[in-house]
Amino acid sequence: MEVKQYNFKAVDNDKVISLLQDKFKSVGTSEGNFSLNHGQIYCEVSKETIKNTIKMLKNDKDLKFDYIKCITGVDYKEYLEIVYSLYSFDNNYSVNIKVRIDAANPDVDSITDVFWSADWFEREIWEFFGINFKGHPNLKTLLLPGDVDYHPLLKSFEIKWEKREYVRPKVFE
Amino acid sequence: MADEIKNNEIEVDEISAVNEPGDFPKDYMEINFGPHHPSTHGVFRFIAKLDGEKILEVEPIVGYLHRGIEKIAENRTYVQFKPLVDRLDYTGAMNNEFGYCIAVEKLMELEVPLKAQAIRVICAELNRICAHEVFFGAMGLEVGAFTPFLFGFKDREIAMHLMEMLAGGRLTFNYFTIGGVRQDVPKGFYAETKEYLKKFKKNLAEYHELFSGNEIFIKRTKGVGVITREDAIEWSMSGPTLRGSGAVFDIRKVEPYSGYDKYDWEVPVGKNGDVYDRYLVRMNEMAQSARIIEQALESLPEGDHQAKVARVIKPPAGEIYLRVEGTKGELGFYVVSDGTDKPYRMKIRTPSFNHLNALNYVLKNNYIADFPIILGSFDTVMGSVDR
C-alpha cells in the first residue's frame, strides 16, 4: 500500500455547482434545486432518483464522491427529509443532497449497495424516524431496545416526565 | 445393552463412510461477547460465529449507553445543551465542545477573538494527548502488558491537572462557550504547560523505547486487522484509523478551523493499515499535538477570551454540517435552526459509530484472540456510538 496525499486546496463552490448541474443533466436524473448556505452546497433531488443520483456522484470520474460524511433525517412536520452529506477525497468537494419524503407514507430506496457505510446510518434513521429503506438487508433496531413501537425523533413524540414508582424486589425483604 | 452398542457402531460406520479422511463435519460455535467485558471499552456486545478459533461472522450489538442526547437537544437551549456534548466521547471532551461551539458560531456568523481561538487549540490538543494516552494504556492491557497503562495514566494525570486549572473539572469540562472560552487562563498555566511538554516529550521517547519496539507487541500487531485505504474510505472511517491505512488526511489541514493553519505540523500516516500502524499514528500524533501547543503558547495573541454574545442565543434560521477532527476521527454536527433559542434538529456524527459498523468486515477471518487488539486499535468510546 502506498501513502496517498490528498488535495488540500480550497474549492470554488460556484464551479462545483455548475459541474454538478451538467452531470445531473447528462445522466438524466432530476436537475435539483441548488442553494448555498454558510458556504455549503445543498441540493434537492426527487425521491425516485436518489439512488441513481448517489450512484452517479460516486462513480463519475470528475466528481468521485467516495465518502459519506453523514446521513441524517429531519422531521419538518408536513414532510420528512433525508440529508446525504458526501465528500470527495480527490477533489475536496462537499455536497449535501436532500430528499423530501411524504410523512404519511415514508419510504425511500436504500443505498446500502452503493456505499457500505450507509448500513448503520439508514438503520438509525429507520428506528428514529420510521422511514422505510427499501432494499436494506438488515433493517432492525440499532440503539433502541428491540420492542419499541415509537419513533423518538419525530416531532409528534414528546418527552413525558413520568413518575415511576420503584417496586422493591421481594428477595431483599 | 447389546442393542445399544450395535446402534453406536452403525453411527460410527455411517460417519466414516460419508467423510473423506481429514474432512470432518463442520461444527460452528456461536459465542456471546460482552456487554460487560473489559476489553470492549464500555458496554459493547457482539455475537460471533466461530469456526474453531477463526471468526466467520460478527454481529455487533450497540445501544446500551443510549441516552437520547439528540432528542434532549431539541428540548434545551443552545447553552443548556452544551454540557451534554462533553458526555459523547468522554476521553476527548474538549474536542466535542470545540465542534459544537464552532458549528453554532458559524450558524450565527460569530467571530471568535484570536486569543480565545489559541486557548481553544491548546485545550483541544492537550485533550488529544490525554485521549491518546488512554489508548496507549489500553493497548498495553490488550496485549497483556500492564506497565504502559501505569505510565500512560501517570502522564495523563498531569495534563488533566492542567485542564482542571482552566475549567475546574477533570473529564467533562464545560469550558468552551459559544463565542470563546468561559474564563481567562489562570496565572501559572502557561509556565506549567511548557514544563509539562518538556517532560512529556521525554516520556514519549520512553514509551517508544518501552513498548513500540517490543518484539512481542510487534508480532501480535503487525499484519493483523488490515484495512486498505479504499475500504477505509468506503466504510466512512476517519481520523487515525484512516491515516493508519495510508491516507494523508486531517480535517485540521483540509478545512482548517480556529487558526490551525497558522501552526507548522505534520500529519502522521501509516503504510500497511494494520493494528501496529494505527498505534504508531496515534503515538506520533501526540508528538504533533505537543508541537502545536508549543507554537500556540509562543504566539499567544492579546485580547479578550470571549466575544460579545447576547444572553439568549438565537441563531438565524438555517442549517449547517460542520466537522472537526475529534480524538477518534471526524466529529460532525448537523444543526438545523428555526430561529428560536432551541435547535430544531441536532445530529451528531461520531467516528466510533462508523468504525463499529465496519467491525464485521474487519474481524472476518481473524482469530478470536486478536479481537481485543483490533477493536482497541479503533479506540472506540461507546458514549459516542450510542449517544
Which burial class, exposed, middle or buried, applies to A27 when counting CB atoms under 10 A from its CB (0-12, 13-18, 19+)?
middle
Q: What's residue B129's pLDDT?
A: 92
Which residues of chain B make contact with A67, given a CB cutoff of 8 A?
Answer: 233, 236
Among chain A residues, CA nearest to B109: A38
Q: What's residue A13's pLDDT?
A: 78
Cβ–Cβ gap A4/B247 under 8 Å: yes
Q: What's residue A167's pLDDT?
A: 65
Q: Which among B271, B274, B226, B227 has a CA at the least distance from the CA of B248?
A: B271
C-alpha cell read off for B353: 459509530
Q: Which among A100, A107, A132 has a CA at the least distance from the CA of A30?
A: A100
Among chain A residues, CA nearest to B343: A74
Least confident segment among A110-119, B33-42, B289-298: B33-42
Evaluate if pTM is beyond 0.80: yes
Share of chain B above pLDDT 90, in %: 12
Say which DSSP state B210 is in: I
List residues bridging with B29 in a β-sheet. Answer: B50
| B192 in Cβ contact with B162 (< 8 Å) | yes
H helix or E strand, kind and range, residue A21? helix A13-27
d(CA A63, CA B352): 27
Least confident segment among B40-49, B148-157, B289-298, B373-382: B40-49
Give the CA distances from residue B80 to residues A145, B141, B178, B310, B323, in Å, rounded to whole numbers and listed in that order.
Answer: 27, 38, 11, 15, 21
Cβ–Cβ gap A2/B271 under 8 Å: yes
Q: What's residue B10's pLDDT?
A: 46
CA distance A105 to chain B (A): 21
C-alpha cell read off for B123: 485545550
Q: What's residue B307's pLDDT?
A: 83
| Residue pairs spanning A and B at CB distance below 8 A | 108
Ordered by where they begin, the domains of chain A are 13-172 (3.30.460.80)
Q: By 3-state DSSP, what share of chain A in percent is helix, strand and coil, each rounded to 5? A: 25, 30, 50
B64 touches A: beta carbon within 8 Å:
no
A158 CB contacts (<8 Å, ≥6 apart)?
none
Q: What's residue B344's pLDDT?
A: 92
d(CA B32, CA B369): 14
Ordered by where they begin, the domains of chain B are 66-386 (1.10.645.10)
A114 touches B: beta carbon within 8 Å:
no
Among chain A residues, CA nearest to B233: A67
B267 touches A: beta carbon within 8 Å:
no
What's the mean pLDDT in B294-305? 86
B175: left (phi over 0), alpha (psi -120 to 50) or beta: alpha
Least confident segment among B39-48, B99-108, B354-363: B39-48
Of A2, A68, A157, the CB nearest to B246: A2
Q: Which residue has the higher pLDDT, B12 or B273?
A: B273
Q: What's residue B273's pLDDT?
A: 86
Which residues of chain B make contact with A38, given a CB cutoff of 8 A?
Answer: 106-107, 109, 318, 320
B131 CB contacts (<8 Å, ≥6 apart)?
B89, B91, B92, B95, B327, B328, B379
Of A68, A74, A142, the CB nearest to B62: A142
Q: What's residue B128's pLDDT?
A: 92
Cβ–Cβ gap A153/B233 under 8 Å: no
CA distance A148 to chain B (A): 13
| A72 in Cβ contact with B352 (< 8 Å) | no
Cβ–Cβ gap B246/A1 under 8 Å: yes
Q: By 3-state DSSP, what share of chain B in percent is helix, strand and coil, each rounded to 5? A: 50, 15, 35
d(CA B229, CA B235): 10
Which residues of chain B make contact with A85, given a CB cutoff of 8 A?
Answer: 321, 332, 334
Q: Name the amino acid, one letter, at B19.
A: N
Q: What is the mean pLDDT of each run of 10 residues along chain A (173 residues)?
A: 75 80 70 78 85 85 86 90 89 87 88 88 90 86 78 85 66 52
